[in-house]
Structure 1
Amino acid sequence: MCATQLAPAPLPTRRDCPFDPPEAYRRLRERDPVSRLAFPDGKTGWLLTRHQDVRALLADDRFSADRARASLPVRSVAIRPVEAEERAGVLLTMDPPEHTRYRRILTRYFTVRRMRALAPRIEQIVTGHLDAMARNGPPVDLVPAFALPVPSLVICELLGVPYADRTTFQRWTSTLLGLHTTEAEALAARVALRTYVHDLVVDKRTHPDDALLSHLIARGNEAPEDAMDDDELAGIGRLLLVAGHETTANMLALGTYTLLTHPEQLDALRAHPEGVQHAVEELLRYLTIVQFGTVRVAKQDVEIAGRRIRAGETVVASLAAANRDAEQFDRPDALDLAREPSQHVAFGHGVHQCLGQQLARVEMEIAIPALLRRFPALRLAVPADRVPLRDDMVIYGVHALPLTWG
């Protein structure tokens, strides 16, 4: 238990290094790991910065994931509580047993075996985009040329979303994840994205294909207990579409930026490409792109590390701070691609742990080595401090990554 409790303060957001979470997290983790947090709406709650506390919170059914009951750690209309008509099928904001039903239905489609089976197609997609980069020649912005289109095409094919519409839904997603998006902009993007996916689901009922949305429709026809209406399917589709391209795209771009600015680690990966699985886990831990943490609301009074959390209070679990905890990780602020896989929380923990984590792993394990093999002389085309960072977005990364080679 901490001897002194600090006064409520806003969530730390200022970074001194593009690859490290704000330094304030370290101080809080050492001095006040369950600290008072001041929210933008004027309310106060709690911030967890220690690995063991974050994991415990995310596995504790005394806390709710329902954002309609929560304060939010940053001023963002993108992650505010969703309206009732938007909530159907959106697993992230649900608690058991409602969440359990959706998770049970979906888990079979995201097993390690199924995701590994996608590897040949992912390799084709990766190779095609690397070929285009080679043809066009340097310099190139890796974000639109490779990092964004590769996972976008993969998730489109997996769900049955027309890839030709990518520019439109990527624009909506960018609007929804921006910290400076206005209420009007967010509403327009939400309605447009919801209508788009809903119309797609309706079309799949009469024109099925061999992708996930059609499989879910067919499953409901075969097993009435698994049947979902159009709103539920549209909610699942929106969630998977947004998460499936935004997170992996930013890991590919930010991960490449990280490797190019850590040449000793880059050289080690080139020399030992068989260690790519360890490398991917370390990049996930080290970068932790869900930069503002995960929100929960206490359903009853709960004690964490000597602090009394009152029923109804919002708790923010900082995944980034937890993944730099020296009590859990040796030399936590060092990038070590040979680090043995650990219990990092980049994908969360507990029943809400990321459904698509195995897909993200496969994509990164294929895409990063392929990029490095194809362009042995790959390097930044601008000074490292001129790479524009996504510190204005819910999901961290880079807005652009100018590269060259040869």
Structure 2
Amino acid sequence: MSEPADEPGASFPMPRTCPFGMPPEYQKMRGEGGVTRVRMPDGSAVWAVSRYDLARELLMNEHLSVFRGHVAFPDVTGRGGARGSIQPKGMLTWMDPPEHSVYRRMLMNEFTYRRMGHLREPIERFIDTRIDEVLAGPRPVDLVTALALPVTRQVICELLGIPEEQNDAFNVHLDRLLGTRTSNEDRAASWGAVRSLVGDLIAEREARPADDLISRLVVKYKEAVGAEVDYEVLIGLIMALRTAGHESTAAMISTGIAVLLDNPGQFDQIKADRTLIPAAVEELLRFLSVADRATARVTTADIELAGTTIPAGEGVLVLNASANHDEAVFDDPASFRLRPDSARHLAFGYGIHQCIGQNLARLEIEAVIERLVARVPGLRLAVGVNELTFAQDALFYSVTELPVTW
């Protein structure tokens, strides 16, 4: 049974340790039944679900909502977010059925394993260009700014069809929107700039279609909705894709490389047999679970879970990082090692809101590791792992700088 609703236990978020270890409180919460109350930075209390089996069960429940405008939606960023406000159109990760179902169907075929396979060659070219620059420059080099961020930005801009000359402006404004220290005035200005830039691109593709995702979304919108294009909806969809397709993947690439370099035995195993890279990526996804805060929800009806009633209209955190370190599912979960059951992880969520771009994310992470192994086999950390710093307060857990040499 959980603690009484008016007596929340630990404060959230809880810092990770060692530096890749999970918050110690997660194990304690699982031991207490897996459904507990925690205190958020704004003082509100929400329910935290920490066990693997309960996380899967709850994420399949039709009485959970992702609507961030609800007054009870957990404020995982600590900066107010959109709670209690009018929700922008088109933000897929903020939509519930039936609206969510319409737009998710529009995008499903764009991110299939087969379609992503066609992107491997251009993605490898992007990576090799960056590695060329790294090898030609001074040592040590920060792989966050030299590789992880620029590659993931370039891939998503290429997929969407954003012209290369507009990439920098697009990314600068989106970084401001996602930044934890951006003022409300700067956030509003950047939102307006992105809306204008993307709106112009939609109009251009509607008049002159190209072989890119924006052009296909224009056509699919008309087919699915049976109406003229609502620019605000498409702008929101494109914003959601760029954010989900860049921030989390960049965090996984940089922090995943840090884990590999901190585990030379496992890294040597991968270098000796590159067919192990996909398995290593699944284990990195499980081990790191960088999107631990992305599965926040709010209940729309009373939900019974493991003998506890979670009332309607209350915030819920489904802690996938805790679920992915559940001893009942994964043997010795605190260790990073190639294991046969890593792919059971919930790093991409579960249920109807499972990450639509997971095949692209896997492809990018695999490609970066493969090209680094092939071209920089002597890669190593330039500082001790305990000297690395991590973004504890960001939406996606990540190393902030990754100095390496070879």
Give the structure-2-normalised TM-score: 0.92
- 1:139 aligned onto 2:163: no
CA distance in 2, matches of 1:45, 1:22: 18
CA distance in 2, matches of 1:83, 1:350: 26
Figure out how many residues of one structure are paired with residues of the other and give that number.
404
CA distance in 2, matches of 1:290, 1:114: 24
Secondary structure of the 1:400 match is coil
User: Post-superposition shift, 1:171?
Assistant: 3.1
User: How do residues 327-342 of structure 1 correspond to structure 2 at under 5 angstroms?
Assistant: 327-342=328-343
CA distance in 2, matches of 1:135, 1:154: 22
Show the counterpart of 1:74. Answer: 76
User: How do residues 182-197 of structure 1 correspond to structure 2 at under 5 angstroms?
Assistant: 182-197=183-198
Secondary structure of the 1:242 match is helix
CA distance in 2, matches of 1:78, 1:382: 36
Deviation sequence 1:207-264 (CA, Å, 0-9, x none): 3321001111133456663864111111111111122121111111111111111111
1:66–1:93 Cα contact (<8 Å) kept:
yes
CA distance in 2, matches of 1:172, 1:326: 42
Instruction: Show structure 2 runs of 5+ residues with no match.
Output: none
Show the counterpart of 1:378. Answer: 379
Distance 1:398 1:270, change over 3 A: same
- 1:17 aligned onto 2:41: no
Show the counterpart of 1:365. Answer: 366
Distance 1:7 1:81, change over 3 A: closer
1:45–1:314 Cα contact (<8 Å) kept:
yes
Show the counterpart of 2:7. Answer: 7
Distance 1:177 1:26, change over 3 A: farther
Percent identical? 39
1:290–1:394 Cα contact (<8 Å) kept:
yes
CA distance in 2, matches of 1:241, 1:39: 28
CA distance in 2, matches of 1:251, 1:209: 31
2:294–2:395 Cα contact (<8 Å) kept:
no
Deviation sequence 1:133-176 (CA, Å, 0-9, x none): 22224221111211111121111111011233333333333333
Q: CA RMSD, aligned part only? A: 2.3
User: Post-superposition shift, 1:42?
Assistant: 3.4
Secondary structure of the 1:303 match is strand
1:142–1:403 Cα contact (<8 Å) kept:
yes
CA distance in 2, matches of 1:143, 1:49: 30
Deviation sequence 1:2-46 (CA, Å, 0-9, x none): 699993032142222221221111111112410012233433220
CA distance in 2, matches of 1:178, 1:223: 34
1:176–1:189 Cα contact (<8 Å) kept:
yes
Distance 1:125 1:218, change over 3 A: same
CA distance in 1, matches of 2:83, 2:170: 21
CA distance in 2, matches of 1:3, 1:219: 48
Show the counterpart of 2:281. Answer: 280
Secondary structure of the 2:394 match is coil
Secondary structure of the 1:315 match is strand
2:286–2:347 Cα contact (<8 Å) kept:
yes
Segment of structure 1 superposing worse, 219-228 or 255-264: 219-228
Show the counterpart of 2:261. Answer: 260
Deviation sequence 1:188-221 (CA, Å, 0-9, x none): 3333333332232223222332100111113345
User: How do residues 145-224 of structure 1 correspond to structure 2 at under 5 angstroms?
Assistant: 145-221=146-222
Distance 1:59 1:138, change over 3 A: same
Secondary structure of the 1:395 match is coil
- 1:246 aligned onto 2:247: yes
2:161–2:213 Cα contact (<8 Å) kept:
yes
CA distance in 2, matches of 1:175, 1:78: 16
CA distance in 1, matches of 2:222, 2:102: 16
User: Post-superposition shift, 1:48?
Assistant: 0.5
Secondary structure of the 2:69 match is helix
Distance 1:314 1:222, change over 3 A: closer
Secondary structure of the 1:148 match is helix
Segment of structure 1 superposing worse, 32-41 or 285-294: 32-41
Show the counterpart of 2:107. Answer: 106
Show the counterpart of 2:46. Answer: 45
